[in-house]
């Protein structure tokens, strides 16, 4: 179901590479992913190795496990078997949780960052990892996927609609304004745009109809060390200034921080 990024023909596996009928070839990297990124370097560089390391450490502590469980339930293909793509999959934590919950399902982790797909390639035995830029189009054949998932990541609605089967589902998890709210002021984190939900609805409406949303909200008990990982794994890592260490040191040993994530499920509108 993967498509050649040059000509759109189906790719077939051959000798540690993927090849299309026109002769374009893409080698499997030693670390287990395939790069379907073509052309010149993109301005969307994605997350860094340090961010991925912080993210994996934070996930391993289980603070987002309730979010992962809800995402897994929402993303499970209806028949229990099928193919699930996560866009901007990072280390593949949420895709892995979704695949654990759906034993007949196979997964594809797509990300623009090499450190991400290296980790995602090892996230789950039923997951493949693809290096690609969602804004350049998804390297997939039309109507082949049962579920597309994005968690805290960019999405390209028209492309998602193209690659989803008619009965497929698009599952979008986004932070609400309350997510990590207790840390935003003290640590100078990037604030969630209060208009985010409205903008998401507007961006999806041409291609999708909303089936429902679920709010996952709970208090996390975070240590100062947990908070440091959150700073370094997220968008604030790009802005972390010299005062970040001082701000972290000023936090109490243990603090209650809200996790607040909205999970929306959408169905593709049928082409008229
Ligand atoms: C905030 S992280 C979320 C990762 C993962 N879903 C999670 O929650 O752990 C956003 C991810 O989107 C990826 N990303 C950013 N721009 C992208 C693009 N244009 N195409 C594909 N992935 C992209 C980043 O590299 C990063 O891994
Ligand atoms: Zn080709």
- Ligand 1 touching residue 55 (CB < 6 A): yes
How far apart are the CA of 113 and the centre of ligand 1, in A? 8
- Whether residue 160 is predicted with pLDDT greater than 90 in this model: the reply is yes
Confidence of residue 244 (pLDDT cuts 50, 70, 90): confident
Q: What is the DSSP letter of 196?
A: H
Q: What secondary structure letter does DSSP report for 10?
A: B
Q: Per-residue pLDDT for 127 more than 60?
A: yes
Pairing of strands 254-268, 164-175: antiparallel
Residues near ion ligand 2 (Cβ under 5 Å): 4, 6-7, 20, 22, 24
**81-87 vs 33-35, strand pairing mode:** unpaired
- How far is the C-alpha of 137 from the C-alpha of 156, rounded, in Å? 8
Concatenated DSSP letters of 88-122: T-TTSHHHHHHHHH-TEEEEEEEES-HHHHHHHTT
User: What is the share, in percent, of the chain residues with pLDDT greater than 70?
Assistant: 96
Ligand 1: residue of 38, 47, 259 to mutate (most ligand atoms within 8 A of CB) is 47
pLDDT at 264: 97
Distance from the alpha carbon of residue 31 to the mean position of ligand 2, in angstroms: 23
Report the nearest-CA residue for atom 9 of ligand 1. Answer: 90
Residue located nearest, by CA, to atom 12 of ligand 1? 88
Cα Rg of the chain, angstroms: 19
The arithmetic mean of pLDDT across residues 113-132, rounded, is: 96
CA of 50 to the centre of ligand 2 (A): 34
| d(C-alpha 53, C-alpha 237), whole Å | 12
* Over residues 6-35, mean pLDDT: 95
The pLDDT score that the predictor gives to residue 188 is 84
Q: Which residues contact 266 (CB under 8 A, 6 or more apart)?
A: 169, 170, 171, 172, 204, 208, 209, 210, 211
Q: Integer distance in angstroms from the first to the last C-alpha of the chain?
A: 25
Residue 20 is given by DSSP the state: -
The single-letter DSSP state of residue 140 is B
Q: Name the residue among 219, 271, 267, 228 with its Cα closest to residue 251.
A: 228
pTM of the model: 0.95
Spatial distance between the Cα atoms of 264 and 97, rounded to a whole number of angstroms: 17
pLDDT band with cut points at 50, 70 and 90 for residue 43 = low
Token readout for 190 is 């990037």
Task: Verify whether ligand 1 is closer than 6 Å to residue 151 (CB atom).
Answer: yes
- For the chain, the domains span 12-268
Residue 179 confidence class, pLDDT cut points 50, 70, 90? very high
> Where residue 268 falls among pLDDT bands split at 50, 70, 90?
very high
Task: Answer whether residue 240 shows pLDDT above 80.
Answer: no
User: Of 88, 64, 68, nearest to 76 (Cα)?
Assistant: 68
Query: Which pLDDT band holds residue 239 (cuts at 50, 70, 90)?
Result: low
Which of the four pLDDT bands, split at 50, 70 and 90, describes residue 79? confident
Lowest mean pLDDT across 12-16, 79-83, 199-203, 253-257: 79-83
What 3-state class would DSSP assign to 135? helix
Chain centroid to Cα 164, Å, comes to 17
What is the pLDDT averaged over residues 58-65?
98
Give the mean model confidence (pLDDT) for residues 206-227. Answer: 97
Nearest to 118, CA basis, from 158, 157, 152, 91: 91
Q: Was domain 12-268 assigned CATH 3.40.50.150?
A: yes
Q: By the 8 A CB rule, do 265 and 74 touch?
A: yes
């Amino acid at each position: 179901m993967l498509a050649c990024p040059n000509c759109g023909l189906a790719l077939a596996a051959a000798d540690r590479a993927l090849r299309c009928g026109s002769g374009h070839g893409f080698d499997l990297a030693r670390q287990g992913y395939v790069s379907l990124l073509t052309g010149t370097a993109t301005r969307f560089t994605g997350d860094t190795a340090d961010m991925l390391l912080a993210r994996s450490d934070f996930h391993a502590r289980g603070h987002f496990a309730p979010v992962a469980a809800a995402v897994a339930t929402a993303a499970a293909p209806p028949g229990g078997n099928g193919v699930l793509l996560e866009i901007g999959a990072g280390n593949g934590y949420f895709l892995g949780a979704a695949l654990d919950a759906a034993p007949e399902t196979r997964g594809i982790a797509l990300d623009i960052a090499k450190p991400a797909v290296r980790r995602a390639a090892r996230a789950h035995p039923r997951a493949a990892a693809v290096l690609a830029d969602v804004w350049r189009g998804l390297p997939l054949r039309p109507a082949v996927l049962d579920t597309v998932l994005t968690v805290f990541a960019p999405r390209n609605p028209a492309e998602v609609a193209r690659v989803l089967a008619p009965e497929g589902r698009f599952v979008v998890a986004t932070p609400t304004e309350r997510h990590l709210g207790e840390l935003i002021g003290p640590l100078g984190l990037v604030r969630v745009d209060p208009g985010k939900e409205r903008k998401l609805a507007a961006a999806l409406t041409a291609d999708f109809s909303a089936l429902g949303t679920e709010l996952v909200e709970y208090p996390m008990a975070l240590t100062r060390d947990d908070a440091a990982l959150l700073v370094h794994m997220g968008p604030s890592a790009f802005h972390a200034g010299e005062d970040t260490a001082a701000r972290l040191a000023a936090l109490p040993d243990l603090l209650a921080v809200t996790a607040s994530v909205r999970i929306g499920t959408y169905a593709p509108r049928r082409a008229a």
